[in-house]
Structure 1
């Protein structure tokens, strides 16, 4: 029954409603593809690189196929048919010729189609085998260097220059960070291509590229061996290239990816249909790669009131859980997000926060929850901000959160200095070490304020899910249910990249991801209930 004595029938009803609300969206994702899903499958098959202007070869190849025969049957049939017919050495040579308009694509039939399908599936298998090997490397490193107990301390670096990010990330690990997130350059989610190579300029962040992933993962491996504990790497699988970035993350052994069912829709105005289709493929890749997703419900509370909209966070978490499980993610990979964003001037604000955090902990007992620090009500008073962050750290320890993103006392003033990060790490270390296993002793009074507030939020969540089942999730998003912002199903960026699959569609990587157990032969990274330090 847990500490909140939640009614199990109410909890079960909430999950049933979330499943019903999600099903039409899942069916849409099963029957459609996008330009990014097709590009991701080519990346799994080994195609990389870009032209002299930085336009990736995967973009050239998918665009050429789309212009000539469409994407309704996928890129695999026309691409591998052309490889066989015209004797190009590899996908790169074919893509370069296609960029010059020198390749004629067709939809093969009969024996030609069978042969193209066979070769495409073999290439997809090679890519997925590479992801399997990288996951096995993580398992081996966790055995060799050890895994830090929860809560994991999560810290951000974001200079724009990958070669500046690396020493900052290593320094953060030495000061106690267990997870390093490289914030992505502002606006990258709106790019319909993935930049190539190591990058040294970004805007409030560093570009997500395969080479940047490789460099940072290697650097954190070095510091992991130095420290005797595995340091995880996080980036962002969202935006118009969500499937491709997820694929690159799997190939380069990232450990976590920001991947939310509605964040890109609400906060980046990316088309809802495009987002949900891209997301299903990206999460299938994450499941196979053993990557923990981080969802973005915390962002809703930056635009909506954290008390009035608390139930929308829970509803989104239930939907993220359903979408994630359907895509093959284990509960140990569902890093559902929430945040400490209640106005500190509100009476009983800390008690309300404890109710919300404990409710999420009990609804998702096996999920590595990611708890976000206060941002909305941080001011120029750095002393008050430092105190508020300490209360956030206390709430995280008391309610057994799994991943705690460190709060910055200068949040909202400037990009944090290294000294700010050091003080933030000192704050979380003190609270965590002083409290120890305080979560064991925190038991709210039965029918007291915390328990009643938690039950109220759960009840409001059920009511909202019932309305969503009646009106559809896409309509709820259009109505501004989450984060206040209204996003119609046919609006936003990227809808022109959505294609309904035809009969006979061939997606070789999708076939493998959908028919094989992504977790066969792999243990979970760390049980969500591991001992707290």
Structure 2
């Protein structure tokens, strides 16, 4: 890669992303405010399973609006003796028995100080969980070989997920991902408690997080290597789920800056506000994020749209670092999704994978297996997954999601996972060191293709930035509206969750944001 081109690409991504960050800083959302209350210790739900954080934020919003945040009116009410604690206040507010107000002067200062003290306890819990992870890794050890092997487990029933996850770890998985029940990203509340019914996944709840983390801690001790746990911080409750992940010591979270916009039709402004807060939590908790560029290649051609993946990776890197994440926390995504019937498809996959590894040398890239062109022919699928694993070995990927030969046929059985893990183990044992030896010829097919994709990426970023004069807001939002990524058109004035976005007023206070940005504990 030409260093000047790489530098230019990052500068363009920064120019495209900065107006979006500024927009996010000027707004809050109902989920950001609920996450703040969760950090302060509010949990639980009413008899209809509506969380108390939802009740309390809704009550405050109805009376004072959220332009000042929830912290001032809530801790002002506590200071006035309306209720002895947050839980009781939420219960009374749900019944319409609380009059909220915006305090001023000394009363505002007192309420703000009390809010900061309460939220800081949650931040310290996250800090303690991060320290606990470090101790367990030091005690049990990390996997000896990279890429880390990432396997999905999700039956819908957390009590069935646990033995399957433990079995997967015993067979070689380094990371267990519990994917969420279909549609949870569109729920504007976080379900409560351990759940036993889900659809193509298991609900993300604090109790489910706690149960799975405890089970994998037992397995880590048994196997002598720390087993990481992954879930999804996306959708309408992204900030809350990120907060619960920090409190319960999850290790990785799927958290992409544009996934919810493109593939779940969540309002772009809502998404960017929520993801900035979420990533601040991830940064503090020492959580590795996984981004979702692989999804673009399920709706667009993997060759023609290769440069949109690179552009998204550069934007995800900018947004992540602005929020405080470090290179080692950037599990930037890409995928083995080129049609295998395309001539030189394997060489093209190598070029794209090596481009990502070269652009982000310190990031634990997340390499995703073929899905779009899996036909139901399990023998062909098993071979494709072997080719995918080989590219991962040759290009030094950091996180390898295990491909299933039954993709597009059935939800995998444990036996399917076992065969898939055998495929991974064989390739990595036989060819895991190829990254040391693999150096494509200068100006050969692979290098030429990589430079071509980078050049197209720079061209796209230049077009996005160049539209600033015509765009009424951040030009990146205009590009998203035009269907630039994943062939999905998502305007900033539409999408789910827009009604939960609120412009901050001059007296806005959020102690969680303050503590995270200051790096403070009190």
Please report the TM-score for the alignment, with normalisation by the length of structure 2.
0.98
Q: Where do 5+ consecutive residues of structure 1 fail to align?
A: 1-5, 519-533
Partner of 2:197: 201
Residues 1:179 and 2:175 aligned together: yes
Q: CA deviation at 1:87?
A: 4.4
Partner of 2:471: none
Residues 1:274 and 2:270 aligned together: yes
Aligned-partner SS, 2:150? strand
Match of 1:100 among 75, 88, 95: 95
Residues 1:130 and 2:130 aligned together: no
Q: CA deviation at 1:89?
A: 1.6
Aligned mates of 1:380, 1:497 — CA distance in 2: 42
Aligned-partner SS, 1:323? helix
Partner of 1:388: 384
Q: CA deviation at 1:21?
A: 0.2
Aligned mates of 2:162, 2:212 — CA distance in 1: 6
Residues 1:492 and 2:495 aligned together: yes
Partner of 1:403: 399
Residues 1:7 and 2:7 aligned together: no
Aligned-partner SS, 1:239? coil
Q: CA deviation at 1:517?
A: 7.7
Match of 1:376 among 365, 372, 389: 372
Q: Where do 5+ consecutive residues of structure 2 fail to align?
A: 468-474
Which runs of structure 2 are paired with 1:370-519 in the superposition (5 Å)?
A: 370-471=366-467, 472-516=475-519
Q: CA deviation at 1:28?
A: 0.6
Q: CA deviation at 1:222?
A: 0.2
Please report the TM-score for the alignment, with normalisation by the length of structure 1.
0.96
Which runs of structure 2 are paired with 1:194-233 in the superposition (5 Å)?
A: 194-233=190-229
Aligned mates of 1:394, 1:213 — CA distance in 2: 33
Q: CA deviation at 1:436?
A: 2.8
Match of 1:16 among 11, 16, 21: 11
Partner of 2:322: 326
Q: Deviations over 1:408-427 (max 9, x none)?
A: 00100110111110000000
Q: Structure 1 residue runs of 4+, over 4 Å off? A: none
Partner of 1:353: 349
Q: Is the 8 A contact 2:289 2:330 kept in 1?
A: yes
Which runs of structure 2 are paired with 1:216-295 in the superposition (5 Å)?
A: 216-295=212-291
Q: Is the 8 A contact 2:256 2:292 kept in 1?
A: yes
Aligned mates of 1:124, 1:284 — CA distance in 2: 15
Q: Deviations over 1:159-185 (max 9, x none)?
A: 000000000000000000000000100
Q: CA deviation at 1:86?
A: 2.5
Aligned-partner SS, 1:105? coil
Q: Is the 8 A contact 2:82 2:89 kept in 1?
A: no
Q: CA deviation at 1:150?
A: 1.5
Aligned mates of 1:407, 1:110 — CA distance in 2: 59
Aligned mates of 1:517, 1:372 — CA distance in 2: 37
Partner of 2:138: 143
Aligned mates of 1:455, 1:97 — CA distance in 2: 62
RMSD over aligned CA atoms reads: 0.8
Residues 1:152 and 2:148 aligned together: yes
Partner of 1:531: none
Change (3 A) 1:117 1:271: same
Paired residues, number: 513
Q: Is the 8 A contact 2:82 2:98 kept in 1?
A: no
Aligned-partner SS, 1:261? coil
